[in-house]
Amino acid sequence: MMHRSLHYYSRVNMPLKLELIAAACENMGIGINGDLPWRLKTEMAYFTHMTTDTEDKNKKNVVLMGRHTWECIPEKYRPLENRINMVLTSQSLDYGDKAITCKSIPHAIELITEMQNQIERVWVIGGSKVYKNAMESPYFGRLYLTRIKKEFECDTFFPPIPNNFVLIKDPAVPQDIQEEKGIQFVYEVYEKDN
Ligand SMILES: NC(=O)c1ccc[n+]([C@@H]2O[C@H](COP(=O)([O-])OP(=O)(O)OC[C@H]3O[C@@H](n4cnc5c(N)ncnc54)[C@H](OP(=O)(O)O)[C@@H]3O)[C@@H](O)[C@H]2O)c1
């Protein structure tokens, strides 16, 4: 896979882009029985800091997810704190002030655009169809993918990564091999090669 290194740039005032973040095992699984197939605290901490941190302290990031993913988050951790939670659903659901519901990705983009001055980054956090739609969207920006170097039994999978995606380096992302509970994993970042 070709590597392209980038200069780090300020995200403040960056035009709207969807940034995907996912962890997948060797068989590209991401979930089982409405849960994660693994418990990796370091990986979870990486997810939290990547999706929460902002350069501009007056702004927040969005976490955009499918309804199942929302339901998979234990109630005590819902909404994901210090982030604007948005849930995709075709149903008329009301999560009160915990999360904003949206009917489609274009609808989510419309709502995000209305709040754009309060938002720094838009993180798409799953599941399968949401990742697929976001990778096909003209708003696709980056894919942050943790590759877990082990097979797990899964019932939900990350969609195929398009051929024109290339690995890049983000200085915010550790390059070295991570290890927890004897399980190795690496943090990868992809962009679309135009
Ligand atoms: N490893 C990881 O990084 C990771 C990340 C996220 C999730 N997961 C795992 O993945 C599993 C959940 O993912 P999933 O793929 O089953 O479900 P999901 O994508 O979270 O949720 C699917 C639901 O979201 C709604 N939805 C999705 N796309 C939509 C769209 N474009 N427009 C309107 N509504 C849309 C629909 O809700 P309605 O039925 O209400 O219409 C759909 O039934 C769990 O096991 C979870 O633990 C893993």
Residue 135: φ, ψ to 5°: -70, -30
Centroid of ligand 1 to alpha carbon of 125 (angstroms)? 9
Residue 15: the pLDDT is 76
In ligand 1, which atom is closest to the CA atom of 107?
32
Question: pLDDT tens, position by position, for the chain (194 residues)?
Answer: 555 544 444 555 567 899 999 999 999 999 999 999 999 999 999 999 999 999 999 999 999 999 999 999 999 999 999 999 999 999 999 999 999 999 999 999 999 999 999 999 999 999 999 999 999 999 999 999 999 999 999 999 999 999 999 999 999 999 999 999 999 999 999 999 97
Centroid of ligand 1 to alpha carbon of 89 (angstroms)? 9
Centroid of ligand 1 to alpha carbon of 107 (angstroms)? 16
Looking up tokens 């704190």, which residue turns up? 81
In ligand 1, which atom is closest to the CA atom of 146?
3
DSSP state of 194: -
Residue 12: the pLDDT is 54
Centroid of ligand 1 to alpha carbon of 164 (angstroms)? 25
Residue numbers annotated as active site: 36, 43
Q: Which domains does the chain have, with CATH numbers?
A: 3-192 (3.40.430.10)
Please name the residue whose Cα sits nearest to atom 36 of ligand 1.
Answer: 89
In ligand 1, which atom is closest to the CA atom of 32?
45
Q: Which residues contact 114 (CB under 8 A, 6 or more apart)?
A: none
Which protein residues are within 6 Å of ligand 1, measured from CB?
22-23, 30-31, 34-36, 65-69, 72, 88-91, 103-105, 125-130, 133, 156
Residue 194: the pLDDT is 74
Residue 14: the pLDDT is 61
Residue 69: the pLDDT is 98
**Residue 78 falls in which region: left (phi positive, over 0), alpha (psi -120 to 50) or beta:** beta
Q: Strand 60-66 relative to strand 83-88: parallel, antiparallel, unpaired?
A: parallel
